[in-house]
Amino acid sequence: MLVIVAPGQGAQTPGFLTPWLEDPVFESRLNWLSTVAGLDLAHYGTAADADTIRDTKIAQPLLVASGLVSSLSLYPHPADAFSRLGAVTGHSVGEITAAVGARVITAEQAMVLVRERGQAMADAAAVTATGMTAILGGDRDEVLAALTQCGLTAANDNGPGQIVAAGTLEQLEELAAHAPKGARLRPLPVAGAFHSEHMAPAVNHVTELARSVSVHDPRTRFISNSDGTVIHDGREVLSRIVGQIARPVRWDLCLESMVDIGITGFLEMPPAGTLTGIAKRYFRDRGLTVETFSLNGPEQLDDARAFCMKHGEASAIDASPTWRMVVSPAKGIFHRAEGTDEADLLTAGVRIGDVASLRDRIAVTAAHGGLIVEWLVEDGDPVAPGQPLLRLHPEAVPA
């Protein structure tokens, strides 16, 4: 089972695109996305210094564009990916890259969204002096208690031994003065308290823009940062990406969902390394054998393609345009809703059942409605994240 992930802000380093731009096809594609974003991304990816590319309104478009163009080098014919791709996800802004990979939005839509996201987050960060600090090690409960005491937000929960705090500089200084026992604190090179209440103004701006974005349902599992669930409604994918600007990233739950779907191969798109390091520790601590691959340069492409062939299997939820899938959001036991046994036609948004997981009970709805073609599970069956539950024919829904 192959999962491809896209990194978030902070992964960028000066000159990381230099080897990629030796390819004229890569260069022309990056120039097109630069035109859409209104930024000279080739310059920022090759010649700009660390302080320049730390700027939120530059870093975010640069990261998304690099992921999108390098993915075309990995899969020159994008549709071929769905015969090999088990799931996609991204960390923070990397979710926008992943949404394009799942065919929820286009590359051009992604660049407009990330341009506006980066600018809006930079504007929000300028209101108050804020930042983020990684907390490495320490007892989890003690770390979270210390954050609460200092008025900080656990903005990124990246798995055992790594939580990122977000808040004002004064709050972060207080945390540094009273560091949890056994924990190391490392200030991050970001320009604001991302994924916290300080970003609320940015959510409002991007929400308004997102209302005009047309979407499609994912053609492979899309694992959401919000809670690690698999989302298969395109509009909800976009809504979560926008709302999460001011909500914590639960990367630990994304990793948990990867395990639930049976991951064997973890490939990180460039600039890679950060998420791969977290994943290695996570899988090792659980005694799991999962191969990882950090794609950072074009010289690795042949090996990356071989890695994808080795671990890939066809998407479980790829669908033709004439019917839609309703899929499980999480691992658990599926319970059908009362009355669905006799139903032939479902209205849009109707609840078809629940998945009872170890954490909670998650309602499952038929977002688009339609004529029931086939139930793919029975009441009481165990299900995995993204497993198809029901096939619908959307054309049967009355206008």
Is residue 249 within 8 Å of residue 5, measured between CB atoms? Answer: no
Where does the chain have alpha helices with state H? 24-37, 41-46, 50-54, 56-74, 94-101, 107-127, 140-150, 169-177, 200-210, 234-243, 251-260, 274-285, 301-311
Whether 179 has a pLDDT exceeding 60, the answer reads: yes
pLDDT interval class at 320 (50, 70, 90): low
Residue 231 CA from chain centroid, whole number = 11
According to DSSP, the β-strands at 130-137 and 162-168 are: antiparallel
Nearest to 90 by CA among 67, 109, 57: 67
Set out the domains of the chain in order of their start, with CATH numbers. 2-124+197-311 (3.40.366.10), 126-187 (3.30.70.250), 324-396 (2.40.50.100)
pLDDT digits (tens, 9 = 90+) for 18-45: 999 999 999 999 999 999 999 999 999 9
Measured between alpha carbons, how far is 360 from 354 in angstroms, rounded to an integer?
10
| Predicted structure pTM score | 0.90
Measured between alpha carbons, how far is 250 from 128 in angstroms, rounded to an integer?
25
pLDDT score, position 359: 83
Q: List 370's β-bridge partners, or say none.
A: 346
Q: List 350's β-bridge partners, or say none.
A: 366
Percent of the chain with pLDDT over 70: 97
State how far the alpha carbon of 140 is from the alpha carbons of 1, 92, 289, in Å. 30, 22, 25
Catalytic residues: 92, 195
DSSP 368-391: S-EEEEEE-S-TT-EE-TT-EEEE
Is residue 234 within 8 Å of residue 216, measured between CB atoms? Answer: yes
Q: What mean pLDDT is predicted for residues 100-111?
A: 96
